[in-house]
């Protein structure tokens, strides 16, 4: 009597590379496809079905996958976003929705580009990708409720441009993308929430409250891995942050801060004084 085939031990089956899967998410142009892939790859990583020990070298992507619209323009050419009118509120929600779409790509690029880091690093940034996808979905649904959709207003490309400038070094990426550009959202979101509340858009306020809570965690992840990489290279974190800030953000990135949120996100008081221009 023939014996049934013995299943091959799972430990002997090569697992797909998380880097290859991250690249697939990064290159996806259709928003729905990118969201579906993000959820699927996140689930596969959590299940232990992906490896961070395999995969070829990362290639430089001049552009991530994104739809043909919105049209990308210079920040000065963006429309007014006054909350006094429904169209203005929609333009404001669209701008935040665009930031969240870019943030999905930024998180997947942080996974795809930087190899040889601890598994916890990839766990953190895959979590960020999943949560940014959730934020994008929430905002796009609200935008549709207002009678618009993602792509109906022009947008700018500043986040991805900084992604390209920091593609050579994870320490520089952690310092400048989560701890400068994304952290700026922690400062401005409370004011946006107040304006939307005054205009009666309580649903948008509730969505931004969720996003603000999660973004504190995302910036904290950037702080954690920035400090980890500084420790690995025997660099003093606060001095290194200042040097990178001055090199890459001359004349920019400063202003009034939401100090409470930033402290929760891993900034020191001295760093906050420096960013505000008082230290």
Confidence of residue 248 (pLDDT cuts 50, 70, 90): very high
Instruction: Of 4, 198, 43, 34, give the one whose Cα is nearest residue 16.
Output: 43
Flag whether pLDDT at 94 surpasses 50: yes
Residue 10 domain-assigned (yes or no): no
Q: What is the distance between the alpha carbons of residues 89 and 84, in angstroms, rounded to a whole number?
A: 7
Query: Considering the domain boundaries, does residue 59 fall inside one?
Result: no
- Kindly tell me the burial class for residue 96, based on how many C-beta atoms sit within 10 Å of its own C-beta (0-12, 13-18, 19 or more): buried
Tell me: pLDDT of 8 over 80.
no
Nearest C-alpha neighbor of 171 from the set 120, 101, 121, 104: 121
Q: Is 118 part of any domain?
A: yes
Asked if residue 246 belongs to a domain, the reply is yes
Give the model's pLDDT for residue 103: 96
The answer as to whether 57 is a domain residue is no
Residue-level pLDDT at 255: 74
- Helices within the chain (DSSP H only): 18-27, 31-46, 86-113, 119-145, 158-165, 170-176, 183-198, 202-232, 237-248, 259-264, 269-276
- Residue 62 inside a domain? The answer is no
Per-residue pLDDT, 14: 77
Average pLDDT of the chain, as a whole number: 91
Q: What is the pLDDT of residue 158?
A: 85
Which residue, 80, 96, 82, is CA-closest to 199?
82
Bridge partners for 72 per DSSP: 155
Residue 236, Cα to own-chain centre: how many angstroms? 25
Using alpha carbons, list the distances in angstroms from residue 260 to 28, 31, 51, 191: 36, 33, 37, 14
What pLDDT shows up at residue 12? Answer: 58
User: Is 221 domain-assigned?
Assistant: yes
Tokens of 70: 């919105």
Containing structural domain, residue 204 = 15-52+75-276
pLDDT for residue 5: 41
From residue 81, alpha-carbon distances to 8, 40, 233, 255 in Å are 59, 35, 44, 20
Total domain count, the chain: 1
Look up residue 169 and give its two tokens.
Answer: 């070094």
What's the pLDDT tens digit per position in 190-237? Answer: 999 999 999 999 999 999 999 999 999 999 999 999 999 999 999 999
> Does residue 7 carry a pLDDT above 90?
no
Q: What is the pLDDT of residues 138-191, one digit of tens each?
A: 999 999 999 999 999 999 988 899 999 999 999 999 999 999 999 999 999 999
Look at residue 6 and tell me if it is in a domain. Answer: no
> Residue 6 pLDDT more than 50?
no
pLDDT at 53: 83
The total number of residues written for the chain in this structure: 279
Model confidence band, residue 126 (pLDDT cutoffs 50, 70, 90): very high
pLDDT category, 60, cuts 50, 70, 90? confident
96-112, pLDDT tens digit by residue?
A: 999 999 999 999 999 99
- Region for 126 from its dihedrals, namely left if φ exceeds 0, alpha if ψ lies in -120 to 50, beta otherwise: alpha
pLDDT band at 278 (very low <50, low <70, confident <90, very high): low
């Amino acid at each position: 009597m023939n014996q049934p085939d013995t299943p091959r031990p799972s430990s002997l089956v090569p697992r797909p590379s998380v880097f290859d899967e991250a690249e697939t998410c990064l290159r996806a142009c259709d928003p729905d496809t990118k969201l579906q892939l993000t959820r699927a790859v996140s689930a596969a990583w959590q299940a232990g079905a992906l490896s961070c020990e395999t995969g070829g070298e990362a290639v430089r992507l001049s552009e991530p996958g994104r739809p043909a619209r919105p049209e990308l323009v210079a920040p000065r050419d963006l429309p007014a976003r006054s909350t006094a009118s429904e169209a203005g509120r929609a333009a404001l929600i669209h701008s935040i929705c665009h930031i969240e779409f870019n943030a999905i790509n930024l998180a997947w690029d942080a996974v795809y580009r930087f190899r040889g880091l601890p598994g916890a690093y990839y766990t953190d940034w895959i979590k960020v990708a999943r949560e940014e996808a959730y934020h994008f979905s929430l905002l796009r649904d609200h935008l549709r409720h207002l009678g618009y959709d993602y792509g109906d207003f022009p947008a700018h490309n500043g986040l991805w441009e900084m992604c390209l400038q920091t593609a050579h070094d994870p320490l520089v990426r952690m310092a400048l993308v989560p701890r400068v550009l994304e952290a700026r959202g922690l400062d401005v979101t409370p004011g946006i929430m107040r304006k939307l509340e005054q205009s009666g858009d309580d649903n948008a306020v509730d969505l931004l409250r969720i996003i603000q809570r999660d973004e504190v965690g995302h910036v904290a992840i950037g702080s954690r891995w920035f400090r980890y990489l500084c420790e690995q290279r025997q660099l003093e974190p606060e001095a290194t942050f200042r040097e990178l800030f001055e090199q890459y953000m001359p004349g920019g990135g400063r202003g009034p801060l939401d100090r409470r949120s930033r402290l929760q996100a891993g900034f020191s008081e001295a760093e906050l004084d420096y960013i505000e221009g008082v230290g």
